[in-house]
Amino acid sequence: MQFLNFDKTNSFKKLSDYANGYSFDFRSKLDAKRVSECVIPMAAGLNYSWAAKAADEQTVKLLQELSNEQEIIAKYKALLDGEVINTGEKRKVLHQLSRGEQGKPVIENGKNIGEFYRKEMERFCRFADDVHNGKFKGSSGNDFTTVIQIGIGGSDLGPRALYLALDNWAIAEGKKKLNAKFISNVDPDDASQIISSCDLAKSLFILVSKSGTTQETLANELFVKDKLKKAGLDTSKHMIAVTSETSPLARNSAYLDSFYIDDYIGGRYSSSSAVGGCVLSLAFGSEVFKDFLKGASEADKLALNDDILKNAALLDALIGVWERNFLKYPSTAVLPYSQALSRFPAHLQQMDMESNGKRVNRNGEPVSYSTGPVILGEPGTNGQHSFYQLLHQGTDIIPLQFIGFTESQKNDDVSVDNSVSQTKLAANLTAQIVAFAKGKDSNDRNKEFPGGRPSSLIYGKRLTPAVLGSLLAHYENKVMFQGFVWNVNSFDQEGVQLGKILTKKVLSHDFGDSALEAYSKLFKI
């Protein structure tokens, strides 16, 4: 198994040659036959449609050759088997293992890592059940009604997006157990606003920090503890921790309990571990979280297929490479036509841009080709009244990734002008796909739509826990596959470190730089 820079492959030259002068005529090629044929089944009843992508039969053939040459599936299998894939930090990458084994058992120093993840899942699921049954109560004897997660980055974005995605569904299905809120920003207004909206005597806090030293998270913990103490409450009866076994938060009497993750699961990939599992199990019940894991595990299994026309995550990744490196599109928009997925694009921003926003390969050597795109997004139809103007008529072409469902989560709807709102939502989605692809001619240039804006579509019946797990794993695996193509390390994030170092210099007044000191004075630091 070789790890080659993308531009050193035979496929890179073939794709470059083919892209020279390439033009895909959306107006004539996008028809009913193409829509029916360009679909790949995904896990949990979802489907991936690439009919409106700028990829013809030869493009797909060359992308299959690229996948084979870069040994993408072999690298995925090596990752699942516990090989050291995170070269920057010299670590295994095992987030898929948190939702079920797809490879051989991973043993480290005699410890079965998969079994460790399973036992931790059962522990925090039992804890959630005990909270729901009243075994654990607040220090004043009240049942908990609200769970509040304190974390930042991957400890906030993924869990928050998933909670919001399932909240309406849980209410409709009678699965809602606790309300969930999130504190992430070190800005005190964030924590203050959340605390003021809660009954502290009935609130359970989850402190999430793998190292136990995350500056923003610990600052917010002290903020919360101060409020609890002033309310006359025992802080140790209102907090649990999600951390590593070697952190100062582990086995600490300051918390009701601690649940463990390890360095093999990166923050942005941690939603299927205790990082997301604790808050989702407390909010909706342990069985809901386990259904979410089943959907993710099924998607991980489907992602092992070598045939790119039977592997939605792989084809999605490769078409993204085609668009980024050969069609020269610098951005990608994720556009869920589901309000439940309102924060999903924000989660994907971190997952994608922190993973593949790299300018060196996995050995630390500069690369001479583009890597990860800029990710943006907003739910439809809100986005249509915001930034779609640029998407339709701007000077840059931005590939689009639509997500939609035939049914709403609550089936709480009203008919106006002979259709219900869910039908109107779906009508807007389908109209946008064709409008972006085919455009519209006009003698008035201001009203002309050039078309040729490529899009994919992930669609299904209803957003449920298993469907959400499938959707999350699809994007995680897509990002991983693109990292393999570009030969970058998708599992470290050195780009966030410099700012942290300089922040410490500012706080200690050890500036060492006149500009740093001058900017600090603007804020009276």
Judge whether 206 and 279 are in contact, CB under 8 Å.
yes
Q: Which residue in the list 354, 358, 438, 474 is annotated as catalytic?
A: 354
Q: Long-range pairs for 184-190 at CB < 8 Å and ≥24 separation? A: 184/150, 184/151, 184/152, 184/153, 184/155, 184/156, 184/160, 184/216, 184/220, 185/152, 185/216, 186/152, 186/215, 186/216, 186/219, 186/220, 188/223, 190/220
Q: Which residue in the list 310, 385, 447, 504 is annotated as catalytic?
A: 385
Judge whether 162 and 472 are in contact, CB under 8 Å.
yes
| Region of residue 174 (phi > 0: left; psi between -120 and 50: alpha; otherwise: beta) | left
Pairing of strands 179-183, 203-208: unpaired
CA distances from residue 240 to 128, 136, 279, 438 in whole angstroms, order as listed: 11, 12, 11, 53
Q: Which residue in the list 111, 461, 500, 504 is annotated as catalytic?
A: 500
The two counts, helices (H) then strands (E), for the chain are 18, 17
- Closest alpha carbon to 271 in 113, 404, 121, 132: 121
**Per DSSP, what are the bridge partners of residue 401?**
334, 456
Q: Helices in 20-71 by DSSP H: which ranges?
A: 26-29, 32-37, 57-69
Between CA 258 and CA 260 the distance in angstroms is: 7
Determine whether 509 is an active site residue. Answer: no
Determine whether 354 is an active site residue. Answer: yes
- Closest alpha carbon to 402 in 383, 387, 385: 383
Determine whether 385 is an active site residue. Answer: yes
Q: 336 — phi, psi (to 5°)?
A: -80, 125
The residues carrying an active-site annotation are: 354, 385, 500
